């Protein structure tokens, strides 16, 4: 049994983030998991048994502005997991993805500070969404319970959303055409705030604050 749970997080505009931050996200979130997988596969294959559980994120399927460093690292983990699942199936090895939403963990206090002098609009929306979500946070226990269900055999699906917000965000994204998703950033602030509040996210106070919220 292998559970890949280590992860780091960065946010900001693609142009304004350093290459080092992109590399750090890939090295931990993707290559870190890959190293562990390669370490356990020989024994799992020999024993013709094993489970590999990769903790991904809805960001692995839900690509948002200012997540250009983090989301690709999780998308790569998703692709690796699906490819690997087919390769190891003949050896009775199963691969699983757990996809939490915005979960209250120390990752946010360790992430890079969002630049206040960004050249790109809507950064306040992005930060406000996370701040509002963490006002009524999703506990890591939700992801842990999904892992427990996989370990016990109660779950056998490749992809497993963790937390009500994860399912809500994934459904919201899936309901839109790619072009509509891209153009959705062009709505005015009031329309955006209203849309978020309809999803149960009280973003207004963070949008109306003079400064960006700090985590």
pLDDT of residue 109: 84
Inside any domain, residue 87: yes
pLDDT of residue 193: 98
CB 156 within 8 A of CB 92: no
pLDDT of residue 106: 86
Inside any domain, residue 213: no
Inside any domain, residue 215: no
Q: Active-site residue 70, yes or no?
A: yes
B/e letters for 159-172, b = 16+ CB within 10 Å, e = fewer, are ebbbbebbebbbee
B/e letters for 125-150, b = 16+ CB within 10 Å, e = fewer, are bbbbbbbbbeeeebeeebbeebbeeb
Inside any domain, residue 180: yes
Print pLDDT tens along the chain (215 aa).
999 999 999 999 999 999 999 999 999 999 999 999 999 999 999 999 999 999 999 999 999 999 999 999 999 999 999 999 999 999 999 999 999 999 988 888 889 988 888 999 999 999 999 999 998 878 999 999 999 999 999 999 999 999 889 999 999 999 999 999 999 999 999 999 999 999 899 999 999 999 999 88
How many domains does one find in the chain?
1
Task: Identify the bridge partners of residue 168 per DSSP, sorted by sequence position.
Answer: none
Inside any domain, residue 122: yes
Inside any domain, residue 134: yes
Task: Identify the bridge partners of residue 96 per DSSP, sorted by sequence position.
Answer: 53
pLDDT of residue 39: 98
What's the predicted TM-score (pTM) here?
0.93
Catalytic member of 30, 63, 70, 120: 70
Inside any domain, residue 35: yes
Residue 63 sits in a domain whose CATH number is: 3.40.50.720
Inside any domain, residue 214: no
* Domain membership of residue 14 as a residue range: 2-208
């Amino acid at each position: 049994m292998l559970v890949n749970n280590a992860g780091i997080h960065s946010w900001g505009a693609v142009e304004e983030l350093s290459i080092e931050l992109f590399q750090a996200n890939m090295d931990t979130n993707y290559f870190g998991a890959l190293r562990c997988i390669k370490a356990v596969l020989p024994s799992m294959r020999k024993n013709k048994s094993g489970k590999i559980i990769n903790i991904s994120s809805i960001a692995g399927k839900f690509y948002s502005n200012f997540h250009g460093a983090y989301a690709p690292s999780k998308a790569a983990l998703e692709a690796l997991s699906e490819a690997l699942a087919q390769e190891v199936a003949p050896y009775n090895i199963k691969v699983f993805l757990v996809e939490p939403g915005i979960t209250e963990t120390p990752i946010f206090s360790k992430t890079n500070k969002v630049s206040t002098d960004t050249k790109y609009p809507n950064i306040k929306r992005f930060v406000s969404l996370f701040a509002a979500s963490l006002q009524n946070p999703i506990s890591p226990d939700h992801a842990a319970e999904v892992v427990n269900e996989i370990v016990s055999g109660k779950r056998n699906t490749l992809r497993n959303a963790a937390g009500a917000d994860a399912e809500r965000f994934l459904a919201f994204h899936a309901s839109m055409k790619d072009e509509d998703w891209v153009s959705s950033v062009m709505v005015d602030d009031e329309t955006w705030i209203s849309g978020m509040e309809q999803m149960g996210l009280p973003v207004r106070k963070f949008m109306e604050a003079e400064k960006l919220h700090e985590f």
